[in-house]
Amino acid sequence: MARKSAKGAAVPSAGKASTGSLVERRLARLGLHQPADFIVHLPIRYEDETRIVPIAAVVPGTTAQVEGEVIRSEVEFRSRRQLHALIQDENGDQLALRWLHFYPSQQKQLAVGNCVRVRGEVRSGFGGSEMVHPKVSVGGRPLASALTPVYSTTDGLSQASLRKAIDTALGRADLSDTLPDEVCSQYGLIPFRQAIRVLHHPPADVSCADLAEREHPAWRRIKFDELLAQQLSLAAARAARRSQQARPLANVGHALLQGLRSSLPFTLTAAQERVINEISADLSRSFPMHRLLQGDVGSGKTIVAAFAAAQAIASGSQAAIMAPTEILAEQHFSKLSAWLQPLGVNVAWLAGSLAGKARKASMAAAESGEAQLVVGTQALIQDKVVFSSLGLVILDEQHRFGVGQRLQLNRKGEENIGRQAYIPHQLNMSATPIPRTLAMTFFADLDVSAIDELPPGRSPVLTKLIADSRRPEVLASVAAEVRLGRQAYWVCPLVEESEALQLQTAVDTHARLAAALPDVRIGLIHGKLPANEKQAVMQRFRDGDIDVLVATTVIEVGVDVPNASLMIVEHAERFGLAQLHQLRGRVGRGTRESVCVLMYLAPLSMIARQRLRAMYETTDGFEIARRDLEQRGPGEFLGVRQSGQELLRFASLETDAQLVAQAREAASMLRDHYPKHAQAHLQRWMRGRQDFLRS
């Protein structure tokens, strides 16, 4: 049951929320169970109820608190019943009040002659300034001595009840500092107790602007603590991984690896050589590799994966590569088979479209160990799929997989020998470069390798922004490109007509292009096509039997057709920045100059304008990633890594980059010299969140 303070505020017990009082259950919805939870449930904003503003001084568009006598109050019947009131202050100035929904108690509160205090946003009405649905209280009472905190809440839980519960917790919770004095002094941090009390009960002289912008020293301490807890948690996860066991895959001088290198028809870049060596060193260790390989579109991540798989195979283990789409998985299978099968490696294919005897044969080959490398989609993680000795797991576009899916593939390689459990090495690949600040905060438990140069001979991609009204010019360009023997993509955001989004659809575009360009061979591919049909269309495009491929974003990643030199993106304003960059990366894969046309429908929103400008100004994937982080936040990069949970509650990657670096430095200091403080800090900040950050 909920315990009661002398003031009567409910503070939940540690029991299940469903067994407590109604107030306790509502508090539990907010994750508030123990006093330690309440003290870090910080205000989202503050109301200044410390002063009365003369009605003559109120400004439309701002929030104000005024006081006056009710001189008129009546229910009017217009399109609906409305409660209208008029108050007049001691200077004779008047302000209109209006309620679209009201209760009899409010009518009574606003009886003519009553002195009331009202607070709300001031608007410009037909008859002058007004407030709609303001907060009303009895006038003449003493003013608040501090800013009034406003908290995020849930249905049925009033601000007053929540404030009482938090005040009760503040009297019970442990507010002692988890950081040693040396750390607080080095980073200029105020004591935790002071920060918490200032944020829950800021004095009247505290700057509202500093609190709203989270620039006050109290907010700085809280943000530092949150980032520090995150760094400590990720460091603990990293240490835990290093305490696990994996089979060392150390046959770096094996004939298979030498044969792969000598058979390549191209020379590896210095960046590829560097990351191959980093991965090779990881695979040679007796604890599991957990590395993120990031590289811009077209940087050559697949050949790096091939060398990692070859090292695992040369050491007597199997490797598995899982991709999020069948088109991407099939692309990997095609390339890896071409590189490794001539060297005697058995490469198996397993995807949803594979059925009957072929599917059973692939599964049997994986289980017996005959298949040394298995490439596929989520079909790899089905219960019936068994591996003989899976030593390396490679996940391409890893942020597109759920935490559970990644763990499922990893578990396919777990084996127990005696009392020791062995788990496979894991390589995650991403074509979306991760900004440095994001890597420091959410990927600090991973080793990160970056391919930061493109292979030689890749042609630059010229990006053009063209309004939809110039469509005839674009069609003429397509026809000219096809006459030169080249191919083009035409990408649309939707497959079927949507009344909500009046966008050009892939199906409709295919029909219109076929009519406008009767001499051009036009194909169509989208996510709703059966897998075998998608494969057939893509193969015809690779073979040159299709001149223009109309597609949805199913071709966003993994498609490699060097002869395609023109990319047209319909309604480019509807795509994300990272997605546009990925689409642009489908061209420029040959030696010919390539063009990416971003067609947009005016007028553009400010965000769409910024997005398209970024695409026009740079082709650097790392710069694109930085701007995308600014515009869309970290969720776009993390994908489903966080399983829908919040990322950072208080700190911001855009504005607190310096704090991130300081927290990372302080985490190392605490782990090395103040382990008890580190543990206390984690207990305060990460209760119930460790698994979320380790996913």
- The CB density around residue 65, as the number of other CB atoms within 10 Å, is 21
Beta partners for 75?
A: 83
Residue 485 lies in a domain: yes
Q: How many CA atoms lie within 13 A of 271 on its CB side?
A: 16
In a domain, 391, yes or no: yes
- pTM exceeding the 0.85 threshold for the entire prediction: no
* Angstrom distances, CA of residue 150 to CA of 161, 210, 302, 643: 12, 16, 51, 28
Contact call for residues 29 and 21 (beta carbons, < 8 A): no
Asked which of 424, 451, 478 is the last residue of a domain, the reply is 451
The domain that contains 506 carries what CATH number?
3.40.50.300
Please give the Cα distance from 343 to 244 (Å, whole number): 33
34 and 176 fall within a common domain? yes
Q: Range of 178's domain?
A: 3-46+147-213
303 plus 383 within the same structural domain: yes
User: Residue 694: what pLDDT?
Assistant: 39
- 656 is a domain residue: no
Same structural domain, 401 and 425: yes
pLDDT on residue 413: 76
DSSP code at position 54: P
Averaged pLDDT, groups of 10, the chain, 695 residues long: 43 48 90 92 90 93 93 87 94 94 91 95 87 94 88 91 94 94 96 96 81 90 94 87 89 88 92 95 94 84 95 95 86 92 96 88 95 93 90 82 66 78 90 69 76 77 94 94 94 66 73 93 87 86 94 70 92 88 85 91 90 91 78 54 54 83 93 95 76 39
Domain contains 290? yes
Angle between helices 606-617 and 577-584 (to 10 degrees): 30
Are 280 and 405 in a shared domain?
A: yes
pLDDT for res 210: 79
CB atoms within 10 A of CB 164: 18
In a domain, 229, yes or no: no
Q: Which of 407, 399, 405 is nearest to 429 (CA)?
A: 399
Q: Please state the domain count of the chain.
A: 4
- In this structure, are 203 and 101 located in the same domain? no
Asked if residue 400 and residue 274 are part of one domain, the reply reads yes
Domain of 68, CATH number, reads 2.40.50.140
For residue 638, the model assigns a pLDDT of 52
Query: For residues 345 and 367, what is the distance between their CA atoms, to the nearest angstrom?
Result: 16
Region label for 480, one of left (φ > 0), alpha (ψ between -120 and 50) or beta (otherwise) = alpha
The DSSP secondary-structure symbol of 342 reads G
Give yes or no: residues 610 and 483 share one domain: yes
Please check whether residues 490 and 365 belong to one and the same domain: no
In a domain, 642, yes or no: no
Q: Is residue 472 domain-shared with residue 590, that is, in the same domain?
A: yes
Same domain, yes or no: 41 and 57: no
Compute, in degrees rounded to 10, the torsion defined by CA atoms 393, 396, 402, 404.
Answer: -10
Domain-embedded: residue 443:
yes
Please tell me the predicted confidence (pLDDT) of residue 386.
Answer: 92
198 is a domain residue: yes
Please check whether residues 189 and 290 belong to one and the same domain.
no
Indicate the residue among 94, 119, 138 that finishes a domain. 138
At which of 618, 648, 682 does a domain end? 618
Pair (21, 123) in one structural domain: no
Q: Is the peptide bond before 603 cis (omega within 30 degrees of 0)?
A: yes
